Structure 1
């Protein structure tokens, strides 16, 4: 018994030291943060929103720190949608479940009514926060059948929408107002700037057209973002394998991003 106790004590003494020796990329001051942002921005292993853009890297790392995410997790889980930083759905769940304020978050699917339900319970509160999102809701919002994840994985997307509503209402202090990517990507940005007089508007359009014609939409980039959304939303290896097959038609540089995301998600699912 004494020998077992002694061995246990030694292990307990070793563990903190091992943790202290772990390498960390977390910057300690502004100078380190700026240097870190430049190194990351020049890396080919970060999402396109951060490549050659140390400013975006710095903002994402700071935002991640406020949410409790280490720098590398922040860069992988924060996406810029409609010029607004947004958090991936699985990271949203991780932030909430990782807090002692969260008692539980439960999700379920009703196949008869085609309705996703998310139940979030805040520790100390008497009532649960229950939010639902059905195929009928998606149809009214013009989402059901929309090209991309809503066409390929409507059940999963409905579940992500119910989750977004539930956790944002239950844990606003944890999420601090950050948008959820799976919800933000479906938002339609509207220009509320007062319209210019017709003559001035026509002249402005002509001048701008001479300087730089309006670029065509990059469908490949859109397809990649849809595939990355589906990969990060996967809950089973079989589902993940089906999704990654959709990346076969992407250009090689974009295909590599999908492969990296696939590898990270596959390792995560195997560990779970």
Structure 2
């Protein structure tokens, strides 16, 4: 017999995201996410309890600064070397959601047999427009391009990891090079044109490359594994004096360039800027991209741009922009 007191189901209700307004509310949402098992493993790692909830809360707050709802933030962010980064095309999505985009187009094209990624965008509020390209040649110089179908890597055998040759190459720059080269162009373009929106946030691939570079730089000579010494053939006499015969301004100065000190001085100088104009003047005086590339550190140009973007974002906040 049907129960006459069961209320009828109503349709047509509007779905509204739960957006916490205070830190306490954020922690409540974070604890619920952890308890439900929906917290991404890349975010919380081996953390449990309030430690895991704190990691989720920081992710939610990082996303809120970019205009993302809590659950969207959890799907969009990862943590690399202790820093938040956006998955895949997250940078593009954040910029589109800002309401400051007149148009944005990204992709790749073939030019003289070489792949060229591009991003063309325009701001709707200021009218600024930019088109940035990232070429296959640039990717090769940066050590990103990878055309090896098989590589040597660690695999599990007999419950232990061993190095093995001839393994399928699953690196993003081999499997998804069209998307990667377009995203790299987008990263440069959007961080320059929409620095106030992104606040220095990178996509996961750039963040991982920077983390790998930092890790290699942090290894002391005593800790760095020594490469096997191949047989050295006798060198022609001319090779012993070739650098000494060069003009002084053409001799190698790589050992004289201190990367850490340069980046530290750049960040300190940008922090002294009173407004965006003075920050731009400091940035131009340092000419970081050219200095880094000429000293063999092109892979750190993105780090310098991130410092500049953070300085701009901080100044805009301080000046009420």
TM above 0.5, yes or no, is yes
Measured after TM superposition, the shift of residue 44 of structure 1 is 2.8
What RMSD over aligned residues (CA atoms) do the two structures have, in Å?
2.6
Structure richer in helix, relative to its length: 1
Give the 3-state SS of the residue equivalent to 2:214 in structure 1.
coil
1:189 is aligned, of 211, 214, 219, to 214
2:199 is aligned, of 176, 182, 199, to 176
Measured after TM superposition, the shift of residue 46 of structure 1 is 2.9
Aligned to 2:176: 153
Is 1:144–2:145 an aligned residue pair?
Answer: yes
Is 1:85–2:90 an aligned residue pair?
Answer: no
Aligned to 1:67: 66
Q: Distance in 1 between matches of 2:76 and 2:69?
A: 10
Structure 1 residues 115-142: Cα deviation after superposition (integer angstroms, max 9, x where no partner): 0110111125455211111221111111
Q: Distance in 2 between matches of 1:117 and 1:168?
A: 14
Please say if residues 89 and 164 of structure 1, whose CA atoms lie closer than 8 Å, have aligned partners that are also in contact. no
Give the 3-state SS of the residue equivalent to 2:107 in structure 1.
strand
Pair 38,120 (structure 1): closer, same or farther in 2 beyond 3 Å:
same
Structure 1 residues 71-116: Cα deviation after superposition (integer angstroms, max 9, x where no partner): 0000110111122101123221111112232111112322233101
Is 1:28–2:51 an aligned residue pair?
Answer: no
Structure 1 residues 8-47: Cα deviation after superposition (integer angstroms, max 9, x where no partner): xxxxxxxxx944xx35332233332222212212333332
Give the 3-state SS of the residue equivalent to 1:131 in structure 2.
strand
Pair 87,64 (structure 1): closer, same or farther in 2 beyond 3 Å:
same
2:42 is aligned, of 43, 49, 68, to 49
Please say if residues 117 and 132 of structure 1, whose CA atoms lie closer than 8 Å, have aligned partners that are also in contact. yes
Q: Distance in 2 between matches of 1:166 and 1:47?
A: 29
Pair 102,23 (structure 1): closer, same or farther in 2 beyond 3 Å:
closer
Give the 3-state SS of the residue equivalent to 1:35 in structure 2.
helix
Please say if residues 82 and 189 of structure 1, whose CA atoms lie closer than 8 Å, have aligned partners that are also in contact. no
What residue ranges of structure 1 are gaps of 5+ in the alignment? 1-16, 202-272
Please say if residues 19 and 69 of structure 2, whose CA atoms lie closer than 8 Å, have aligned partners that are also in contact. yes
Aligned residues: 180
Give the 3-state SS of the residue equivalent to 1:85 in structure 2.
strand
Please say if residues 160 and 182 of structure 1, whose CA atoms lie closer than 8 Å, have aligned partners that are also in contact. no
Task: Name the larger-Rg structure.
Answer: 2
Give the 3-state SS of the residue equivalent to 2:89 in structure 1.
helix
Please say if residues 46 and 76 of structure 1, whose CA atoms lie closer than 8 Å, have aligned partners that are also in contact. no
Q: Distance in 2 between matches of 1:194 and 1:116?
A: 33
Structure 1 residues 146-193: Cα deviation after superposition (integer angstroms, max 9, x where no partner): 851111111111011011111111101111121221211222224777
Aligned to 2:129: 128
